[in-house]
C-alpha cells in the first residue's frame, strides 16, 4: 500500500540532537594513536559538512573500530553519514551494508551510553525506511517502536503511521497477530493521536492512514463484531474498553442490527449516557417492539436533550410507543408536544394523530348515531389535512357519513357534532357523496 506523505520528510525528527562535538572525549593515551584519531575525526566531520558521505565513512570506520568510546558524537553523526552514503549509491548490496551500519551504530550506542530513550524512535524510523519490505527484518523496527513506547509512554505522533504500517506488513507477510491484537494496537495508536490532537496537533493525515491500513487488512466486518467480539463482551460485561471497541467499529462498519452492538450500546449508555446513546438504544428496542424497555430510555434521553429539536424527536418516539400500547390520548398529547417543539415534526405528528383516529373506529363506535360514529373520520381527515397527507385524507373521506345518513338524523352538512370517546373533538359535518 502506498502510504501518505505523513511517512516522509521527517528529517527534523531524525536529526534532532545531532552534534559536532561533546564533552567527554576519550582520546587514546598513545600519542601517535591520539594524533591519528584527531586527524580522522576532523576528516570525517569535514566530509560530513560537505555532504560527502561515502568518503566520510572511511575515517569514521577507523574511529569506530579503533576508538569506539572516543565520544558519543561518533554515533550521532555516524547515523547521518551512513544513511547519506546509502542514499548516494545505486548498488543495492552496498546500500544495504550502509543501512545495516546505521542500525548497528544505534545498537553499539545503546551498549556504551545509557540514553536509549532519547534516540530509540529515530532508530525505529530508520528501520522502517530500510526494512519495511523485508518480512524478517521489519520485526526489528517494530520492536524498536514498541521499545520507544515502553521507555517514553508514547511515540511522536508523526511516526504513528509508520509504526502501524509495519504492523500491517507483519500481519500480511507473517500472520504475526490475531485480529484482536491488531485492534488492540490500533486503539493504542488512536489514543496517542487523540492526545496529540488535544495538544493542538493536526493528526488528520495520520488518522487517515491508519484507517486505510485497517480497512486493507480486512479484519473487521459485522460477522467479526458479532461472532468474535460479541461473545467476549457477553462473558465479561464489565469490560468497558471492549464495549467501546464494539460500539465504535459497529458505527464505522454500520453494523447496527447486531446483538453485540446493542450490548455495547447498553453498557455505554448505562455508564456514560448521552442523548445519542440513549436515543439510538431506544430505537433498537423500538425495532424489536420492546416498548417497555424503550420508554424509560427515551425518558432518559429527554433529560439529556440539548435543544428543542432533540426533545421533539424524543416526544414523537414516545407518541409512537403510547400509540402502540393503546394509550391513544397520551400518544396524541406527545405528538402535539413534538409538533410544538419543532415545526419540522408537525407533518409526522399530525399524520400519527390521523392514524390514531382512524384506528379508533371500533373503540369509539356507540351504535346509536351513524353520524357520530363516522365523525371520527372527519377528525382524522382534518388531522391528515394538517399533515399534508393526501392519501390519508382520501381514505378518511371514504368513511364520512352519507347525505342520507345525515338526513335520517335531521343533521345537515356544515353543522357540528362532537366525536365523543377519547377523541373528544367537535367537527364540521361533511359527507362522502
- The share of the chain scoring above pLDDT 70, in percent, equals 95
Asked whether residue 123 carries a pLDDT value surpassing 60, the answer given is yes
Query: Parallel, antiparallel, or unpaired for β 416-418 and 426-428?
Result: antiparallel
Q: What pLDDT was estimated at residue 23?
A: 58
101-121: pLDDT as tens digits: 999 999 999 999 999 999 999
pLDDT average, residue stretch 161-176: 96
d(CA 369, CA 357): 18
Q: What pLDDT was estimated at residue 241?
A: 85
For residues 70 and 78, the answer to whether their CB atoms sit within 8 Å is: no
384-425: pLDDT as tens digits: 999 999 999 999 999 999 999 999 999 999 999 999 999 999
Which of 164 and 16 is assigned the larger pLDDT? 164
Q: What pLDDT was estimated at residue 329?
A: 97
Phi, psi values for residue 416, rounded to 5°: -125, 160
Q: What pLDDT was estimated at residue 122?
A: 97
211-223: pLDDT as tens digits: 899 989 988 889 9
Alpha helices by DSSP H, 201-290: 204-217, 222-224, 230-235, 240-252, 259-271, 275-287
Asked whether residue 7 carries a pLDDT value surpassing 90, the answer given is no
Asked whether residue 323 carries a pLDDT value surpassing 60, the answer given is yes
- The share of the chain scoring above pLDDT 90, in percent, equals 86
CB neighbourhood size of 400 (10 A): 21
For residues 266 and 234, the answer to whether their CB atoms sit within 8 Å is: no
24-48: pLDDT as tens digits: 899 999 999 999 999 999 999 999 9
Residue 410, exposed/middle/buried by CB under 10 A (0-12, 13-18, 19+)?
A: exposed
Cell readout for 59 is: 575515517
Asked whether residue 365 carries a pLDDT value surpassing 50, the answer given is yes
249-293: pLDDT as tens digits: 898 888 998 999 999 999 999 999 999 999 999 999 999 999 999
128-156: pLDDT as tens digits: 999 999 999 999 999 999 999 999 999 99
- Per-residue pLDDT band at 307 (split at 50, 70, 90): very high
Diameter of the chain by CA atoms?
A: 133
Residue 59, exposed/middle/buried by CB under 10 A (0-12, 13-18, 19+)?
A: buried
pLDDT average, residue stretch 184-203: 94
Q: What pLDDT was estimated at residue 14?
A: 43
Asked whether residue 4 carries a pLDDT value surpassing 90, the answer given is no
Q: What is the mean pLDDT of the chain?
A: 92
In the chain, domain spans: 360-433
Amino acid at each position: 500500500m502506498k502510504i501518505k506523505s505523513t511517512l516522509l520528510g521527517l528529517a527534523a525528527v531524525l536529526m534532532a540532537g545531532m552534534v559536532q562535538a561533546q564533552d567527554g572525549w576519550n582520546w587514546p593515551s598513545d600519542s601517535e594513536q591520539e594524533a591519528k584519531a584527531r586527524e580522522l575525526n576532523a576528516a570525517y566531520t569535514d566530509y560530513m559538512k560537505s555532504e560527502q558521505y561515502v568518503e566520510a565513512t572511511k575515517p569514521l570506520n577507523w574511529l569506530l573500530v579503533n576508538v569506539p568510546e572516543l565520544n558519543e558524537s561518533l554515533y550521532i553523526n555516524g547515523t547521518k553519514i551512513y544513511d547519506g552514503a546509502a542514499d548516494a549509491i545505486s548498488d543495492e548490496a552496498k546500500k544495504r551494508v550502509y543501512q545495516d551500519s546505521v542500525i548497528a551504530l544505534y545498537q553499539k550506542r545503546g551498549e556504551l551510553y545509557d540514553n536509549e530513550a532519547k534516540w530509540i524512535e529515530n532508530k525505529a524510523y530508520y528501520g522502517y525506511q530500510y526494512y519495511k519490505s523485508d518480512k524478517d527484518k521489519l520485526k526489528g523496527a517494530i520492536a524498536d517502536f514498541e521499545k520507544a513506547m515502553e521507555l517514553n509512554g508514547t511515540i511522536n505522533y508523526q511516526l504513528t503511521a509508520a509504526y502501524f504500517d509495519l504492523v500491517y506488513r507483519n500481519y500480511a507477510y507473517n500472520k504475526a497477530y490475531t485480529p484482536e491484537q491488531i485492534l488492540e494496537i490500533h486503539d493504542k495508536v488512536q489514543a496517542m493521536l487523540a492526545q496529540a490532537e488535544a495538544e493542538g496537533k493536526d493528526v488528520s493525515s495520520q488518522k487517515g492512514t491508519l484507517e486505510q491500513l485497517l480497512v486493507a487488512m480486512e479484519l473487521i466486518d459485522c460477522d467479526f463484531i458479532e461472532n468474535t467480539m460479541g461473545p467476549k463482551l457477553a462473558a465479561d460485561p464489565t469490560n468497558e474498553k471492549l464495549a467501546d471497541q464494539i460500539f465504535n467499529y459497529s458505527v464505522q462498519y454500520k453494523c447496527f442490527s447486531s446483538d453485540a452492538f446493542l450490548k455495547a450500546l447498553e453498557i455505554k449508555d448505562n455508564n456514560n449516557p448521552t442523548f445519542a446513546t440513549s436515543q439510538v438504544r431506544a430505537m433498537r428496542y423500538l425495532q424489536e417492539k420492546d416498548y417497555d424497555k424503550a420508554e424509560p430510555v427515551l425518558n432518559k434521553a429527554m433529560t439529556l436533550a440539548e435543544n428543542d429539536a432533540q426533545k421533539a424527536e424524543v416526544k414523537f418516539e414516545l407518541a409512537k410507543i403510547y400509540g402502540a400500547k393503546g394509550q391513544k390520548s397520551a400518544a396524541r398529547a406527545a405528538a402535539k408536544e413534538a409538533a410544538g417543539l419543532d415545526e419540522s415534526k408537525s407533518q409526522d405528528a399530525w399524520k400519527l394523530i390521523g392514524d390514531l383516529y382512524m384506528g379508533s373506529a371500533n373503540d369509539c363506535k356507540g351504535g346509536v348515531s351513524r353520524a357520530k360514529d363516522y365523525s371520527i373520520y372527519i377528525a382524522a381527515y382534518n388531522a391528515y389535512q394538517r399533515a399534508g397527507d393526501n392519501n390519508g385524507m382520501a381514505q378518511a373521506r371514504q368513511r364520512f357519513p352519507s347525505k342520507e345518513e345525515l338526513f335520517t338524523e335531521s343533521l345537515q352538512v356544515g353543522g357540528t357534532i362532537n366525536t365523543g370517546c377519547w377523541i373528544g373533538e367537535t367537527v364540521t359535518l361533511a359527507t362522502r357523496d
